[in-house]
Amino acid sequence: MSKRPTILVITAGGAYAWVIVNALASRFASVEVALEQPESRSLFLRRRARKVGWVQTAGQFFTMAISRFGKGLAGGRTREIIAVHGLLTEPLPGLAITPVASANGADCLDLIAARKPDLIVLAGCRMLSKATLSAIPCPVLNYHSGINPKYRGLAGGWWARASGDGENYGTTVHLVDAGVDTGATLGQAFLEPHPRESLLTDSLAMAAGSRDMVIHAVDDVLNGTAEPQSSALPSVQRFHPPVWTYLATGLAKGIW
């Protein structure tokens, strides 16, 4: 029988998420991953449209499409980040990984019940539903690519750069509640954005500079020494910039 994991990380994968997962697995003796499957695009778009309307959703979708096609253009900066920070953007060899349909699926809850982790960490996965949260008996933390509460939601690094707010470029580890990145903050990494950063590289660059902060925040929770941090920043939920905002900002300010 395998050893009960101290930490269960729920993630959909991706380069920046594996940087965070690998940092945890390198520091803590027992880490397991629940790897959720990608959400269908139609479901994602319908849910987003209920929040912001179809016009904004269409604009955000085109920005995401441009980002996917533009990955090659950001390849040089991505390789530089990986080399400078010595990153591994795939799971560490031997890391225990269990596929699940969704972070909110019955199979994920079954895995949690079977493993009985001391702590769950979310890193780039779906938002947990109220029903899922209420069924989890241990603390749940989220690694967020943005400084809460000012850059809750998505593309926090881009919004900070586009707003000329480089002093609030960074990441947050917070307790998970029913809101969108509204749980109590337990740790933050304030970073200096590189001039070559873009919407395509922000999350990887910020993960590279946040590993020690994440480990420290998780260590505090496991040791019972975590203390919520207060902030005077305004609370704003962000989404992907619509394509007209993204292009206008890039052309006018050179912020991509």
Q: What is the pLDDT along the chain (256 residues), one digit of tens a residue?
A: 455 669 999 999 999 999 999 999 999 989 999 999 988 778 888 888 888 889 988 988 888 887 777 777 789 999 999 999 999 999 999 999 999 999 999 999 999 999 999 999 999 999 999 999 999 999 999 999 999 999 999 999 999 999 999 999 999 999 999 889 999 999 999 999 999 999 999 999 999 999 999 999 999 999 999 999 999 999 999 999 999 999 999 999 999 9
Q: Could you tell me if residue 59 is inside a domain?
A: yes
User: In terms of residue numbers, what domain contains 113?
Assistant: 7-253
Q: Could you tell me if residue 99 is inside a domain?
A: yes
Instruction: Kindly report the CATH number assigned to the domain that includes residue 187.
Output: 3.40.50.170
The rounded percent of the chain whose pLDDT value lies above 90 is 83
How many Å from the N-terminal Cα to the C-terminal Cα in the chain? 49
Please tell me the total number of residues recorded for the chain in this structure. Answer: 256
DSSP conformation class of 12: -
Q: Residue-wise over 99-115: b if at least 16 C-beta within 10 A, else e?
A: ebebbbbeebbebbeeb
> Which residues, at least 6 apart from 70, have a Cβ–Cβ distance to it below 8 Å?
200
| pLDDT tens sequence across 55-109 | 988 988 888 887 777 777 789 999 999 999 999 999 999 999 999 999 999 999 9
| pLDDT tens sequence across 164-183 | 999 999 999 999 998 899 99
For residue 39, give Cα distances in angstroms to 42, 85, 132, 156, 242: 9, 30, 17, 21, 21
Q: Could you tell me if residue 143 is inside a domain?
A: yes
> Which residues, at least 6 apart from 38, have a Cβ–Cβ distance to it below 8 Å?
12
CB atoms within 10 A of CB 2: 8
Q: Domain count for the chain, please give it.
A: 1
Q: Could you tell me if residue 162 is inside a domain?
A: yes
Q: Could you tell me if residue 163 is inside a domain?
A: yes
Q: Could you tell me if residue 25 is inside a domain?
A: yes
User: d(Cα 154, Cα 159) in Å, to the nearest integer?
Assistant: 9
Q: Residue-wise over 171-204: b if at least 16 C-beta within 10 A, else e?
A: bbbbbbeeebbbbebbbbbebebbeebbbbbbbb
Q: How many helices (H) and strands (E) does the chain have?
A: 10, 9
Q: Could you tell me if residue 1 is inside a domain?
A: no
Token pair 């253009």: residue: 73
Q: Could you tell me if residue 2 is inside a domain?
A: no
| 190 DSSP β-pair partners | 170
